Structure 1
Amino acid sequence: MKRPLRRELMFQLVETSRLLRTYVEQRARQHGTTRAQWGVMSRLRRQEGLNQAALAEQMDLQPISLARLLDRLQSQNLIERREDPADRRAYRLFLTPEGRALVDDLDSVRTEIAQEVLGGVEEAAILSALETLSAIREQTRTRSEDKAPASAGNAA
């Protein structure tokens, strides 16, 4: 029996996402890092000086999970934590020269991956997919915000 179209799309999105995450993880490991570490370094390159709390929020990670990632990156001399002059309890995060070199090298890997998985796909199909994914992301974000529990500060 054929699945309804919207259910089939959801299945395909989830399965494709899983396969792509696994593939990117394999490629990252070939360069001595992980997909998660790559993501942290890429974010820091775009926004150096973020504190750990802001980075955790932006990446939708639990602070303890991010702290473990940052510990590994720091032990590999890929990032550094600097005291936040405005908050003695917080640290600002920066790439080291080695971290910047690695994330710059990984840009070519991202380009290779995009070519490998999208090389045979027409530009019009890619544009349509981007529009569709944007709509799905917005609907999901709206639904998530609608379902989020009220914070303690908003409680009556």
Structure 2
Amino acid sequence: MTVTAFHRRPEPVEIARVTSTAAELLEVLWGRASTAPASASQLRLLHILEHQDGINLRTLAASLASTPPATSRLFDRLQAAGFVERENSPDDRREVRLRLSGRGRAYLADLRARREAELQAVLDLMPAAKRGALAEGLESFCAMAASRIHDDTQDSGRRTA
């Protein structure tokens, strides 16, 4: 007689705990791929501009959960480094659009390549089946996280409008 093993379904709280640990380990691994010359908050700003090219300062500040003056100072430092740029809106000369510069895009691409090299070194140690399961789970996680972020951005836009 064969006994079928039933695996209990992992609860979201347990997965959240493991994911949090994984995120902390990623921070340590990625620390080897320095983010210099950008700080963590500047890096968040660069990522937002990469995905929302041409947004205005108010929207950027809301995305960072910050104030426009603090966001402007953060942006100014990145502009001085050549990572971002401002341009007048073609529709309204009073409105300024914020963009990631070519240098900013190159910086993010280089950072990602260095981080991916650190990840690949760990993934190379995993059995292929576990890597496949991880990839499948992460694809779903990323889709749901992106959806939630998008919905939150839409909601905050409606509240400030």
Residue equivalent to 2:76: 71
1:133 equivalenced with 2:137 (yes/no) = no
1:129 and 1:67 map into 2 onto residues whose CA distance is 37
Q: CA RMSD in A?
A: 3.8
1:2-151 equivalences under 5 Å are: 5-6=10-11, 7-25=13-31, 27-29=33-35, 31-57=36-62, 59-64=63-68, 65-121=70-126, 122=128, 123-130=131-138, 133-134=141-142, 137=145, 141=148, 151=159
Q: Could you say if the C-alpha distance between residues 20 and 83 of structure 1 is closer, same or farther in structure 2, counting changes exceeding 3 Å?
A: same
TM-score calculated relative to the size of structure 2:
0.61
Q: Could you say if the C-alpha distance between residues 37 and 28 of structure 1 is closer, same or farther in structure 2, counting changes exceeding 3 Å?
A: farther
1:152 and 1:36 map into 2 onto residues whose CA distance is 23
State percent identity of aligned pairs: 27
Q: Could you say if the C-alpha distance between residues 137 and 38 of structure 1 is closer, same or farther in structure 2, counting changes exceeding 3 Å?
A: closer
2:93 and 2:138 map into 1 onto residues whose CA distance is 42
Q: Unmatched 5+ residue regions in structure 2?
A: 1-8
Which AA in structure 2 matches 1:115?
Answer: Q
Which structure: larger Rg? 2
2:159 and 2:50 map into 1 onto residues whose CA distance is 32
Q: Could you say if the C-alpha distance between residues 23 and 94 of structure 1 is closer, same or farther in structure 2, counting changes exceeding 3 Å?
A: same
Which AA in structure 1 matches 2:53?
Answer: E
**Greater relative CO, 1 or 2 (CA 8 Å, sep 6+):** 2
* Secondary structure class of the residue paired with 2:33: helix
